[in-house]
A and B are shown apart, each in its own frame.
Chain A
Amino acid sequence: MTGCSIQVARPGALTTIQDCGRPGYAHLGVPRSGALDAPAHHRANQLVGNPPGAPVLETTLTGVAVTARAAVTVAVTGAHAAVRLDGRRVGLGTAVAMAAGQTLDVGPARLGVRSYVAFSGGLQIPPVLGSASTDLLSGLGPARLAAGDVLDLGEAAAPDGPPVPGGGAAVPGGGAAVPGGGAAVPGGGAAVPGGTLAAAGFPPRCPQAGVPAAPVPGERAELLIHLGPRDDWLSAVGLAALRGAAWKVSPQSNRVALRLAGAAPPRSRSGELPSEGLVAGAIEALPDGQLVVFLADHPTTGGYPVIAVLDPGSLPVCAQARPGLTVTFRIA
């Protein structure tokens, strides 16, 4: 059975397609990309019986609305937002059955930034360098969603039990936890009947597989960091400032980086480094005192000193960090 698709009724401020990204090409200047909140991405897929790395929608602050053109199971995870099916409230973090013609509306984020919307069968996107992800830094992958776009879905895995028609309630076996406690939905996992998802060219390894889910931050967030590789560019005073000071998430933040405004942690030397490779979560200290925390669409090399790197468990917190959020650091 093929031919199922969804149509974008309201694209929201910025909705992109994301999977586990495209590791392995950084030496050519290709960013890793992929879903910013990886645990939410994996969870949404598991709820609808997809492999955890299947492509999903990632929204930004204002949500998205899509209309099903055939029956499909959907799940929304990530930011706290009101989700409605033809105007009726349905649950966040549960599988919801949509009939042909019904519209799912993911409202503005009340807490957090990004919602993840998974569809049974997964979005069928021709992969670029092994990934369906939209990379906003380099322009690789599909364009951001626009009103009227039609997105094809693959064949759904045989569900363990039918989602409750009309949504609202949980999948039999518990809405809060997929049977098996967050492991793959039975029938999901790597093998998909018909092989449509496997054929879509997912990366064999999800770089963030196993990263624990983090609570969506409210007023404050503490980020766990590992010093280095260039913490020697911070003075002792700078290091103390990193431990004690608070920063505010700047509105200039995006999928490339979370920008943090605050008092400059004093550096022990000035200037730039010869360009060197960057990892996701790298924290650059800029000469003007801003800290830049690189996220999935980060450039592959940089010339400002990386004083610390986020613990992978703090990346989902950054994915959901709204402008104005107060951020402190804890050194691992």
Chain B
Amino acid sequence: MRFRPAGPSALLVEVDSLDQAWALHAEIARKRAAGWAPSLLDVVPGACTVLLDGVPDHGRAARDIRSWTIPPVPAGSGPVTEIHCRYDGPDLPAVAAQWQLSVPEAVRLHTSIEHEVAFCGFAPGFPYIAGIGRGREVARRDSPRSAIPAGSVALGGEYTGIYPRASPGGWQVIGQTTAVMWDLGRDPAALLVAGDRVRFIDVTP
């Protein structure tokens, strides 16, 4: 574990993997519930980091965290959400070609994987869903699209993302879902949060 200051009141804790980041994030949540670091405002998991915003005493926070025994989060233990997806996105043929698969094979691959939400970012309710794996990373488009519709299912790097609302974006759009990713009338407003498992169901007509 490495501790990197992010300004006078935040600390970026770097670990070696997404699993370790989840385990640390879960332990921080338990410790907070028990009253640890009451000045904390935000705890943001990343791909292999956890950011603690609101810890002015870096040394004390780091000492505390080092002293913890952090139980691993068992893989595949989060709740499962099924996302119905029409695989008819404009970039699907290019993604299939990059994977050296036919379009139907690429769709079968994407629906056969049990994905997991690594973290949220970019926009409220936008999940970075890990699963397509190393070796199948998808490059961003050379020029971002100025408008990607809400519900677009898109690939970027080793992640699948789902756009909660229309926005510009550089990811490769492979499909479309009617799932509502962000709803302020719901608690939590985000449909998917870090640790959730995701299965994509092919509903292409």
Contact = CB atoms under 8 A, between A and B. Distances in A.
Interface string A7-35: 00000000000000001111111101000
B121 to A, nearest CB: 3
A309 B194 contact: no
A230 B4 contact: yes
B193 A28 contact: yes
A207 B48 CA distance: 26
Main secondary structure of the interface of A (DSSP, over half): loop
Contacts of A27: 42-45, 119-120, 193-194
Contact of B124 (A24, A138, A226, A302): A138
Nearest to A227: B5
A30 B190 CA distance: 10
B23 interface: no
B42 A23 contact: yes
A254 interface: no
Most buried by B among A23, A28, A30, A230: A28
A301 B44 contact: yes
Contact of A138 (B5, B6, B123, B128): B123
Contacts of A281: 7
A277 interface: yes
Most buried by B among A128, A138, A310, A312: A138
B165 A300 contact: no
Interface in A25-83: 25-30, 32
Interface string A206-219: 01000000000000
Contact of A275 (B43, B121, B124): B121
Interface residues of B, number: 37
Main secondary structure of the interface of B (DSSP, over half): loop
A205 interface: yes
Given A230-B4, A312-B8, A139 B165 contact: yes
A29 B6 contact: no
A23 B46 contact: no
B7 A275 contact: no
Interface string B156-198: 0000000001000000000000000000100011100110000
A229 B45 contact: no
Given A29-B120, A205-B41, A276 B5 contact: no
Given A226-B8, A277-B46, A301-B46, A23 B120 contact: no
Contact of B7 (A30, A128, A226): A226
Contacts of A310: 7
Contacts of A275: 46-47, 119, 121, 128
A25 B189 CA distance: 10
B106 interface: no
A256 interface: no
Given A29-B123, A29-B190, A138-B123, A228 B51 contact: no
A306 interface: yes
Interface in B48-96: 48-51, 53-54
Interface in B1-21: 4-10, 12
Contact of A300 (B44, B47, B184): B44
A140 interface: yes
B122 A228 contact: no
A299 B189 CA distance: 17
Contact of B46 (A25, A274, A309): A274
Interface string B132-166: 00000000000000000000000000000000010
Interface in A194-241: 205, 207, 226, 228-230
A140 to B, nearest CB: 7
Given A29-B124, A277-B12, 14 more contacts: A23-B53, A23-B54, A26-B42, A26-B51, A27-B193, A28-B189, A129-B184, A139-B165, A226-B8, A274-B46, A276-B44, A279-B51, A309-B6, A311-B7
15 contacts: A23-B41, A26-B43, A27-B44, A27-B194, A28-B190, A129-B189, A138-B123, A274-B46, A276-B12, A276-B49, A282-B7, A301-B46, A301-B122, A312-B8, A312-B9
Interface of A: 23-30, 32, 128-129, 137-140, 205, 207, 226, 228-230, 274-279, 281-282, 299-302, 306, 309-312, 332
